[in-house]
Amino acid sequence: MTARPQRIGKYRIDATIGRGGMGLVYRGFDEVIKRSVAIKAISRSALPGDEQAGAIDRFRREAQAAGRLVHPNIVQVYEYGEDEDLAFIAMELVEGSSLHQELARRRRFTLREVGSIMSELLDALAHSHAQGVVHRDIKPANLLLTAEERIKISDFGIARIESSNLTQSGQMFGTPYYMAPEQFLGQHAGPAADLYAAGVIAYELLTSIRPYSGGTPQIMRQVLDPETQPIPPSRLNANVAESLDAVVLAALAKPIDERFQSAGEFAAAFAAGLIDSLALTGESAPAGEPVPTASSTLTGAGRRLAALHRQQTLPPALTAPGGRGGPGGVSSAHKPRLLVVDDEERILTALKSVFRTDYHVFATTDCERALAFITKYRMHAIISDQRMPGMTGVELLRRAKEAAPSSMRILLTGYADLAAIVGSINEGEIYRFVAKPWDNNDLRAIVREAVTVSIELSDLKTPAADELRSQRAILVVDASEELYRATRELMADVGPVRQATGPEAALSELAAADVGVVLFDLDAGNAQDNANLIKTLKQVYPQLLTIVVTKASDSDLMIGLINEAQIFRFINKPVPLKTLRGHLLGALERAREFERQPALVRAQAPEPSPRPRLALPVRWLDRIRDLSERLWTRRR
């Protein structure tokens, strides 16, 4: 390890504080003006000979790019210098953490915090682009948060200066998660690439996930495929208004001319969408804060909204940024249909108020009329109160399922007829149960999820039930229950679907039921423990077929599962329901083949592993030992 220098240029070096893209970062001190600084330095001798010239050129360009920018949200460069071995940049020292570190700690930002971050980021980009500087590597790691939680953009190491010829066509620069399509293609990366990266950051701040996931090849395929589009943020965060969806999705548009054409335009549209989102939570813009109007944000957004409609990326009932219906909105005839049934007019009025913007709402106090609506119109979701005159909500939803199997059914109740409710959920008549008094944001999220499943179900081509019917169960290991509910609806015509909320419950289910396929959410707990459990189960229960759902991109983990557990399929989150159904049907058919030809089980069973790498909690091992004995008894 190279010893820390005592001085670099005129600066005393006090500590090593990090490692940059091309060298070390030190804490320094200017003894003349008594100011602490950050010093990024690279050593020529530490670089391969054929890379020295290019690396020094890029380093000098970073200083030139950032040095011409004077903005409160950009790290200020004070000096660039070189000696025989070192090149260095002395810059503003930012005391705090990076946005990447905050996200890694799973910090959830409030809407106001997101608004502040995006406003400062886009204001800084507007200044940078006006000076002819394109950053080209905007990402959370390059956004520093001061002690006052103001944003500072850093690391202009691969920036492009409009007057510079250093960047050559065909070179691919950037960080994959935040790279625009043109960067993956090695094409000219202008201001639109920075705005695309800002759109990815906005998506991540609002949803806690990135719009595309996987390793670099998977991300590249998703970004370049025009048919692959991100899930609208409002489906992942009920506090996000659909007008803000439109803004974020426009920023992530794949064709450059369908994105925002300037940081200022993006900022105005985002502010308008944020105000709509705050209104959903009962908040409003603070006094004195400028409120963008629809006319100020729609100059270029209309074209992009139309393009998003063509791409079918918009969620139901999307309105233009800053608006709620009206010109540019979607007519109720084209919105998903929601039926609300309650014997109290005040409840109907409240629910219609909550949902009228996003859905074509049908409302009635009469169950027979509700059934007539269901027969006449294709309802995506039905909300019914349990305590209805003449017919309980459970009975209404049971009959609704018979009349319209792809409609998702939600029971609203203020008391617990537990036996009826539990039975109906287990039989699939009820998709979700909501207790009074409900939370509007929670209810919006539930209905949004239900409508999404309903739309997916309506598009599926269902083979004849006789061809599909299976007596063996599908076991869904899913802590959140969302995957279980979707699977239960998807596979209702095929066979039983059971749920376990975690690994221990899964072992109990495997011991008690005849399970042919396990759909395992690898993120339900510790991913490595879950992977080791899946590998161990395959040795104990070789005929078991496992489909793994995950948002992880740990290649070693995945390769281990493929090699040691013969995983039937992997599905990346967010889970496409059509794909999920296809994989589940394929797994059940393979299970039938195993029953008809036991030799297939022996042929694909993994070799027992003598190595102690499959470390598992002791309580799990006891359950596995019990499961092994039960399976042996069954086989005999």
- What fold characterizes domain 465-635? Rossmann fold (3.40.50)
Range among 408-422, 474-488, 576-590 with highest mean pLDDT value: 474-488
Q: Is 588 within 8 Å of 495 (Cβ atoms)? A: yes
629 vs 82: which has the higher pLDDT: 82
Q: How confident is residue 418, by pLDDT bands cut at 50, 70 and 90?
A: very low
pLDDT computed for residue 381 by the predictor:
92
Sign for the CA dihedral angle at 559, 561, 562, 568 comes to negative
Side chain identity, residue 110: T
pLDDT (0 to 100) of residue 112: 92
Query: Contact 564/539 with Cβ under 8 angstroms?
Result: no
Tracing tokens 């005391």 back to the chain, one arrives at 95
pLDDT recorded at residue 401: 84
Mean of all residue pLDDT scores within the chain? 77
- Per CATH, which fold does 7-92 belong to? Phosphorylase Kinase; domain 1 (3.30.200)
604: pLDDT strictly greater than 70: no
In the structure encoding, which two tokens stand for residue 103, read together?
Answer: 């996200």
* Matching fold, domains 96-311 and 465-635: no
CB 201 within 8 A of CB 121: yes
Strand partners, 80: 89
All structural domains of the chain with their residue ranges: 7-92, 96-311, 333-459, 465-635
Model confidence pLDDT, tens digit, residues 7-28: 988 999 999 887 755 678 889 9
Q: Which of 401-410, 458-467, 507-516 has the lowest mean pLDDT?
A: 458-467
Please tell me the predicted confidence (pLDDT) of residue 292: 41
The CATH fold of domain 333-459: Rossmann fold (3.40.50)
Residue 143's pLDDT is 94
In this predicted structure, the answer to whether residue 591 has a pLDDT above a threshold of 60 is: yes
Tell whether the model's pLDDT for residue 617 goes beyond 80: no
pLDDT tens figures, 35-66: 999 888 888 777 776 677 777 877 887 787 77
pLDDT of residue 458: 65
CATH number corresponding to 96-311: 1.10.510.10
Residue 173 has pLDDT above 80, yes or no: no
137 is catalytic: yes
301-312 pLDDT, tens digit each: 444 443 443 343
Q: Where are the alpha helices (DSSP H) in 517-576?
A: 527-540, 555-565
pLDDT, position 631:
56
| C-alpha angle 620-474-490 in degrees, rounded to nearest 5 | 140
Measure the CA–CA gap between 525 and 503, rounded to whole angstroms. 8
pLDDT digit string (tens) for 179-201? 999 988 888 889 999 999 999 99
| Mean pLDDT confidence for 236-254 | 91
Most confident of the ranges 42-51, 65-74, 168-177, 588-597:
65-74
pLDDT digits (tens, 9 = 90+) for 458-485: 655 444 444 555 677 899 998 878 888 8
Find how far residue 89's CA is from the centre of its chain: 37
Two tokens at 17? 């504080």
pLDDT computed for residue 5 by the predictor: 86
What DSSP character marks residue 76? P
* Helix/strand/coil (H/E/C) assignment for every residue in 84-111: CCEEEEEEECCCEEEHHHHHHCCCCCCH
Residue 91 has pLDDT above 70, yes or no: yes
Determine the average pLDDT of the residues in 590-610: 63
- Residues comprising the chain, all counted: 636
- Answer yes or no: is pLDDT of 264 > 70: yes
Q: How far apart are CA 382 and CA 339, in angstroms?
A: 5
Give the best-scoring range by mean pLDDT among 153-167, 255-269, 467-481, 510-524. 255-269
Burial status of residue 135 (CB atoms within 10 A of its CB: 0-12, 13-18, 19 or more): buried
- pLDDT attached to residue 193: 94
**Degrees (nearest 5) of the Cα angle 170, 229, 113?**
95
Nearest to 478 by CA among 530, 429, 433, 552: 530
Share of the chain above pLDDT 90, in %: 19
Q: Which of 123, 137, 276, 521 is catalytic?
A: 137
Which stretch of 208-222, 295-309, 351-365, 389-403 has the lowest confidence by average pLDDT? 295-309
Buried b / exposed e across 253-292, counting CB within 10 Å, b at 16+?
bbebebbbbbbebbbbbbbbbbbbbbebeeeebeeeeeeb
pLDDT in tens, 525-572: 788 788 888 888 887 778 888 888 887 665 566 656 765 777 777 787
Residue 500 confidence (pLDDT) above 70 = yes
- Which of 160-164, 225-229, 297-301, 599-603 holds the top average pLDDT? 225-229
- Residue of 494, 487, 496, 497 lying closest to 467 (CA atoms): 494
**Mean pLDDT, rounded, for 106-113:** 89
Phi, psi for 541 (deg, rounded to 5)? -135, 70
